[in-house]
Amino acid sequence: MNLKMLAGETGMLPAREASAEHETVLQGLRDRAFMMSERYAAQQLRAPTEGARAEIVTFHDAFQRQLRALGVPMFAHCFVRDSHAQDEAYATGHSKAQAGESPHNFGCAVDIVHSRKAWSLTKREWSVIGHIGKDVAARNQMKIDWGGDWKFWDPAHWEIRGWRRLVGLTS
């Protein structure tokens, strides 16, 4: 099965190396009926973008357009995190970064989760979401890294590549 279709026009998974298995997994993530609900509409407004860098907001918007075209309801859980929220995420083990060490503290990241399943996707489901997000970034020539590729697995997390240099934390 050739899934190298144009993104957004076919409803198929856009990908260079997509497989029939990816399409099967994608079917389990779709929920077009939920995407018509008030709850989904409210989720789209949940995470304010104030203080977020334009690059990450632009990536999020392009990613969301692709996910909507595919019928996959996702939403931004968080763009910017203050020091208190970051230290809380660190204390609970949800982050490896303390306040001042996270790209969220500088508006350089976004956490995107499924509207119905939240973070409770299988590794295969997260892999498909990661594939879609990386494809969106590549097609739009955006330098974005996915937390699903890390040893500290954080598949909801997307950040601007080289964000530390961008905000002056390293030279």
Helix axes 123-139, 20-29, angle to 10 degrees: 100
Q: Over the stretch 91-128, which tens digit does the pLDDT of each residue have?
A: 999 889 999 999 999 999 999 999 999 999 999 999 99
- pLDDT value of position 105: 97
Q: Over the stretch 28-53, which tens digit does the pLDDT of each residue have?
A: 999 999 999 999 999 999 999 999 99
Name, in order, each residue with C-beta under 8 angstroms of 61's C-beta and a sequence gap of 6 or more: none
What tokens appear for 120 in the block? 């409770």
Name, in order, each residue with C-beta under 8 angstroms of 128's C-beta and a sequence gap of 6 or more: 13, 22, 25, 26, 29
- pLDDT value of position 26: 94
- Say if residues 13 and 70 touch (Cβ distance below 8 Å): yes
What pLDDT band is residue 9 in, cutting at 50, 70 and 90? very low
What pLDDT band is residue 171 in, cutting at 50, 70 and 90? low
pTM here is 0.87
Helices (H), 71-168: 83-91, 123-139, 163-166
Q: Over the stretch 125-170, which tens digit does the pLDDT of each residue have?
A: 999 999 999 999 999 999 999 999 999 899 999 999 999 999 999 8
CATH architecture of 20-161: 2-Layer Sandwich (3.30)
H-helix or E-strand containing 39?
helix 38-43
DSSP output for 44-61: TTSS--TT--HHHHHHHH
Give the type of residue at 96: K
In terms of phi and psi (left: phi > 0; alpha: psi -120 to 50; beta: otherwise), the region of 12 is beta
